[in-house]
Amino acid sequence: MMQFKTFLSKSPSMQTIRLIQTGIKSAPGQYEKAYINGQWSSAISGETFDVFNPANGQVVGKVPDMNTDDTLVAINSAFKAFQSWKNTTAKERSQILRRWYNLLVENQNKIAEIMTAESGKPLIESNGEVTYGNSFVEWFSELARQIRGDIIPSSFPSKKILVHHQPIGVVGLITPWNFPHAMIARKAAAALSVGCTVVIKPAEDTPLTGIELVKYAEEAGFPPGVVNIVTSSRENAPDVGRLLCENHLVAGISFTGSTTVGRILYKQCAYGIKRLGLELGGNAPFIVFKSAKLDTAVSSALVSKFRNCGQTCVAANRFLIQEDVFDDFVEKLVERVKLLKMGNGSDTGVQLGPLINQPQLDKVTNFVNDAVSKGAKIITGGRPATHLGNLFYEPTILTGITPDMIVYNEEIFGPVICLTKFKTEEEALQISNCCDVGLAGYFFSEDISQIFRVSKNMEVGMVGVNEGLISCSEAPFGGVKQSGLGREGSHLGVEDYTYVKYTCIGNLS
């Protein structure tokens, strides 16, 4: 049976399971407000929208449907708070971030329950995401005191050259639904650690997790206006995003999401020459060479492809298997895929939850139907699992993939494995690099020379060699080509949030 090795948590209690299945009802009204300028606030319009559990369609929360009026209040509050927050010491910021981290750890199970209720991902995965997201808060709490400048030797004895880093100001954080904890934590902790203030815009499908994170940020002691969260429906989201990009008080934007939306935000930021971080879509190749350990490759394929039901930007998408081992790999893979358990994320042993919403289900269904209509063969799966609910799709394996199929060219974002044979290393790399995005890539080989060659020549920002899980707080996360700009995590994760200032002191004697 497949195990998600990074997703370790205690089994949920029966009380926890009942809460998730019936909606979050432990504290009525807890999620009916967003957080602006240190106050839990309703929308100025008074409007709200419902948040649904994709596993069963039940309402699990109601949050403010904020618009540009509310967002402007948040921006102004963040700008005012920045005037003092930027002057805090690195030690002060480090200590508050550490308190935030401690609170997130103490409340991990509760956060995971909320995430499962609104995203549908299995509870064991939600706990894994909370652990992962928390690690960024811890990392940047420690890194806050390690931001260093330079004293550069001058060519002139009468001059001294000093270089130091300053926070850029207010940062808009626009985060996705598939990792509602980790993407907020990774961005906000980095920005806050260097003295920026933030306005968080969580995805409309999963705002409850973000609200819970901000609740603990308030408890940790961030001053009013330093951390703000604005919730909005799908209808108001474009206008809120545009305001964050175009308002002159916002110094930078960090966005995780599709390349299509990333292009829009890029254009909107252009007039103000904003500092911009974009973590966009991928189309990750997964190459298995004939020297690979097939059991390792199969286990890694399951983790990389089916985590969050395939709805991750680094999910393996194009499976390229060398013809010498193709049949053996497929046999082992099919055997393991047939053991996967689908269902409500709160149920014991579930490894695959639902897709997030109807458009996502329609997309996956259309991709598979297109491939089959053009000659692909379904080995297993290939249809919605309607007996489980409206948004479930069976884990699917397709062979006979050709370049004219949508699944060959576009990111699937669903539980579908598309297998293609190749003959040579050169052919595998040509297929791997033929698209205009390059976030993550994976390959499996026991040939050390090949490992160095392929790692170098893969046109992606992150490479997993004999490994299907590569993300961690210490490593730089980001892509090349149209997969984005900048890096998150690692010591590089603060660069989007600081200006480099050069000071020349002259006429020294």
Positions marked active-site: 279
For residue 256, which of 313, 339, 323, 216 has the smallest C-alpha distance? 313
Length of the chain: 509
- Beta-strand pair 34-36/39-41: antiparallel
Q: Give the separation between CA 464 and CA 300, rounded to whole angstroms.
A: 10
**Taking the CB of residue 185, how many other CB atoms lie within 10 A of it?**
29
Task: List the 250-256 sheet strands across, edge first.
Answer: 39-41, 34-36, 227-229, 197-201, 170-174, 250-256, 275-279, 484-485
Q: Is 373 buried (19+), middle (13-18) or exposed (0-12) by CB count in 10 A?
A: exposed
Residues in Cβ contact with 14 at an 8 Å cutoff, skipping those fewer than 6 apart: none
Q: How far apart are CA 128 and CA 458, in angstroms?
A: 29
Q: What angle do CA 136, 138, 144 make, to 5 degrees?
A: 95
d(CA 368, CA 472): 32
For the packed helices 237-246 and 259-270, what is the interaxial angle rounded to 10 degrees? 40
